[in-house]
Chains A and B, each alone.
Chain A
Amino acid sequence: MNTERYQRQIVLPDFGAEGQRKLDTSKVLIVGSGGLGVPVMQYLVGMGVGTITVMDADEVSLSNLHRQVVYTTNDIGRKKVEVAKERLGLLNPEISIIAISEMLTSENAESTIGECNIVVDCTDNIESRYILNDTCVMLDKPFVYGALYRHEGHVSVFNHQGSVSYRDVYPDDSVNVQNCNEVGVLGVLPGIIGCYQAMEVVKILTDFGDPLVGKLMVVNAMTSEHHTFFLGSKKEKVEPTNHVENKKFQTMSWEKLENTDLTKSHLIDVRSAQVFDESHDSRFENIPLQMIAGFEPNPNYEVVLVCDRGIATKQAAAILSSSFPDIQVYQIEGGYQVLAQ
């Protein structure tokens, strides 16, 4: 590491060489390389975070350029993550930038999030945010949230060492919310909010300052007002973390299912109703993953979940365990695919 590059921040007594070393050994995943993602990646690359993965399936378009200022007019039509990797590699060739030209989905969330220390939520849609949240809860990773509505920006740090998650604040994931393309945004606002997010990432990674854990900051760019709301601690759930994690990650094989007394079990197939109707194990009832948040298990029962490959059940288990930490949840290992083999 070339310390001259980072000299101006190393000289800060509360950051120092130790702070720089922590950044250098960190891995950050930035989901979304649009209005919020661009400033986040620019600053984290500049400041020397060792490994930065940027994930986005979009291509640069002319209407992006007023706010996504790392791209140029010549980049229109190119994959955003490829342009970002190329350009930010020039800003700081000493770190490693990984470009993934995909959307975050329930299929790729676990593998990509599992690789990093912290996730930055720069998505522009609510579905990705819930996938990101639930996977972070399951894997015990913090994420820095940022979102915009017209002249207003929201910032928070969720799921850091057992703190509240996005789903704790917004349990209803069926809600329809408009994005910047629909409602419009002044170019500079995502820059401001993205910079706040980058700052929170640095605070968490280097363990300094007072990060927005359990707090939601709302910034109004028109009035320059900042409001901070306290979301509450989740301390009662922090202590039994291992207990909860263990319960959440329990799997069960089909063989074991045959030898288990199921009289006090909810057996739930979390696949879509359409797939369920095609074929299913008749002992299971169907509650699709999207509906699982509304399910209330009998507190004296255990829950056994099944899906195709054991991926959707992980998300469902995370959702159930977050709402009902005392319920024992099992996932059928490998799902229906194991039976097909």
Chain B
Amino acid sequence: MKDVLDPLARVAGVRQVAIVSSDGVPAVVLERASRGGEFVERAYGDAPKLSGQRIDPSSFSALAVGWAEEVARAIAPLSWDAPWRIALVASQGTLILQHGPGAMVLVVLDAGTPPESLTVPLDGAVARMERLLRSLGRHSEVHEAPSLIGGPEHGDAPAAVRLDPQYRADRKTRDGTRTQMQPPYGHLDEDR
């Protein structure tokens, strides 16, 4: 799973990358060390150890996913689906969350780094997650896939659980294999 995140960590301005479950539990966290700039892997429940760090990685992941849920709830009246990518550009850093198969990719950038520079690398990370799932579960895309973060369910395949239906719906919409979904209150143009 570290291989999924490694290319993202090589992008200039990236401070932290992680794969986080939909309930905010981090599966893998890579953080840039203050000196040297190399990325170190942090375990779940680690207290803040790097110099200058003000919040531990697991709390950060939980808060980030909580925020994503709040944003999704707020824009629910405009859309059937939750957003597949959200970014919070702030004065001390930028947070980006992108939906992947059964999990989210979380990236924290240094202040001043534009989130647009991560668009392609993030899509690449999600594609690597899908590839990893395929190689682990030898699944067909529409049936079952092993979760990146769940425990083993059955057979030899590790952690075989269904893909997040929300993610599958989003992917299909993005790939153009499904028509654009309409907001829950009908066509917006009718209101104009």
A, B assembled together: no
